[in-house]
């Protein structure tokens, strides 16, 4: 990898800048102190709320989140591998009110973009000057025949979203299924082609489950039904690790998008074959969270993702509504680090706009993602992207890229990365 870690972190820090405003950018609140309502308190929403308050305490921020705690997707693969516990993936919201954030634990069920207000399940009506949506993803389970029935029966899990409790979190349930599986059994992982949340995650999951099998069920096998033509991210690194650590255990089958699952017979059907499984883990295709549809910002040509102004993250379709994180339609990875960086750019832009200043025209996003390949090795991908207003897109800058090998020092960096991004978001 040509970019040094210190250089990447330097560029990632530059992502705090915002950029040119959209047509409605300098509209002032109807009266007095501006009020920004943020829905979703993950790596995007919580970071945005925290940094707005840090950079301009005069701006009122209400952060709405249905869960009492944050259940992190990063590190849940480590739970499946036996490297961490589920308890270690849960983050508290207790420090956010200390920044002056009004934290509301409720679910938004309605958005009135004309009157600029949201309605919650508990009957609250909350007015906003600007609304920031950071809901993550929802699954297009209707594209897989039998998926809903299998999920309802507890036999088909995605483990790609967690919560709302430790006991019911899908990673917890999947771990129990793997523990109950007989030695010599077959674990089927199915993943869709991009775009989607953390495209390298399924391959890391294969490594972590293989590590668990190697310790406890050495006769078992993993079959990966991959909807893409090859390993999407860090391909050389993963393939080396599979050969080095898990020879004969991981069977990666590309061009195999799953179309059907039968939880009674435990047969997974792809476009080309039927596969019998003991444990089924299917990650369906994804789209922007449901609230994005309510707000009218799920507005790409397919009605799946949310186009945004790359400078302010405001929707070009609905004024005064901004979108962050996995729900955004862009060429950027859908990852925790990108969500965290987007949140800072959006926060900076909002602060500039409410102080009669122009946001920076060329915001920078740094993206890094680590993947563990064993209980002591990991490898990164790190890139820097700068927004080009003329092209209306983030352009990848020279340098960076994916490591072709995993090693012990990057395993230590991987652990530190977890700690730092959680602290930056929630502490």
CA–CA gap between residue 184 and residue 207 (Å, rounded): 17
Residue 410's pLDDT band, with cuts at 50, 70 and 90, is: very high
Please say if the pLDDT value at position 321 is more than 70: yes
Domain positions in the chain are 5-66+106-139+286-426, 141-282
Please give the CATH number for the structural domain made up of 5-66+106-139+286-426. 3.50.50.60
Q: Buried b vs exposed e over 93-127: b needs ≥16 C-beta within 10 Å? A: beebeebbbebbebebeebebeebbbbbeeeeebe
**Is-same-fold flag (5-66+106-139+286-426; 141-282)?**
yes
pLDDT at 19: 35
pLDDT of 108 over the 70 cut: yes
User: Which of residues 32 and 360 earns the better pLDDT score?
Assistant: 360
Mean pLDDT of 207-235: 97
Poorest-pLDDT segment among 19-23, 155-159, 396-400 = 19-23
What is the model's pLDDT at position 322? 98
pLDDT of residue 10: 37
Q: Is the pLDDT of residue 409 over 90?
A: yes
Please write the tens of the pLDDT for every residue from 244-293. 999 999 999 999 999 999 999 999 999 999 999 999 999 999 999 999 99
Mean of pLDDT over the chain: 93
Is it the case that residue 31 has pLDDT exceeding 80? no
pLDDT tens readout for residues 335-357: 999 999 999 999 999 999 999 99
- pLDDT of 17 strictly over 70: no
Kindly state the percentage of the chain with pLDDT values over 70. 93
CATH of 141-282, picked from 3.40.50.620, 3.40.50.10140, 3.50.50.60, 3.30.365.10, is: 3.50.50.60
């Amino acid at each position: 990898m040509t970019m040094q870690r210190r250089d990447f972190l330097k560029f990632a820090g530059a992502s705090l800048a915002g950029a040119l405003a959209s047509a409605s950018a300098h509209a002032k609140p109807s009266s007095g102190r501006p009020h920004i309502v943020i829905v979703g308190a993950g790596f995007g929403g919580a970071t945005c709320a925290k940094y707005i308050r840090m950079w301009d305490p005069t701006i009122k921020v209400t952060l709405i989140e249905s869960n009492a705690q944050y259940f992190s997707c990063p590190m849940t693969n480590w739970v499946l591998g036996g490297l961490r516990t589920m308890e270690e993936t849960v983050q508290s919201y207790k420090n956010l009110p200390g920044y002056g954030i009004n934290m509301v634990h409720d679910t938004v069920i309605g958005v009135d973009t004309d009157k600029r207000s949201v309605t919650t399940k508990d009957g609250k009506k909350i007015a906003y000057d600007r609304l920031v949506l950071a809901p993550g993803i929802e699954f297009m389970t209707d594209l897989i025949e039998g998926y809903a029935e299998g999920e309802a029966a507890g036999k088909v899990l995605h483990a790609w979203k967690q919560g709302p409790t430790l006991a019911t979190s899908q990673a917890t349930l999947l771990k129990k299924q793997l523990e109950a599986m007989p030695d010599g059994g077959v674990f089927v992982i199915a993943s869709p082609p991009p775009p989607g949340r953390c495209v390298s995650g399924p391959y890391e999951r294969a490594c972590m489950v293989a590590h668990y099998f190697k310790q406890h069920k050495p006769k078992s096998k993993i079959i990966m039904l991959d909807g893409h033509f090859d390993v999407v991210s860090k391909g050389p690194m993963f393939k080396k690790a599979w050969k080095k650590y898990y020879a004969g255990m991981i069977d990666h089958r590309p061009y195999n998008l799953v179309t059907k699952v039968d939880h009674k017979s435990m047969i997974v059907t792809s476009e080309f074959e039927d596969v019998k499984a003991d444990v089924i883990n299917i990650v369906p295709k994804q789209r922007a969270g449901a609230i994005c549809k309510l707000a009218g910002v799920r507005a790409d040509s397919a009605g799946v993702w949310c186009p945004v102004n790359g400078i302010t993250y405001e929707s070009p379709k609905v004024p005064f509504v901004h979108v962050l994180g996995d729900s955004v339609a862009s060429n950027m990875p859908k990852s925790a680090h990108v969500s965290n960086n987007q949140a800072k750019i959006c926060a900076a832009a909002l602060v500039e706009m409410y102080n009669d200043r122009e946001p920076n025209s060329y915001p920078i996003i740094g993206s890094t993602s680590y993947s563990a390949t064993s209980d002591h090795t990991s490898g990164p991908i790190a890139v820097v992207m700068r927004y080009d207003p003329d092209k209306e897109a983030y352009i990848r800058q020279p340098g960076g890229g994916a490591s072709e090998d995993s090693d012990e020092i990057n395993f230590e960096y991987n652990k530190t990365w977890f700690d730092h991004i959680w602290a930056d978001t929630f502490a």
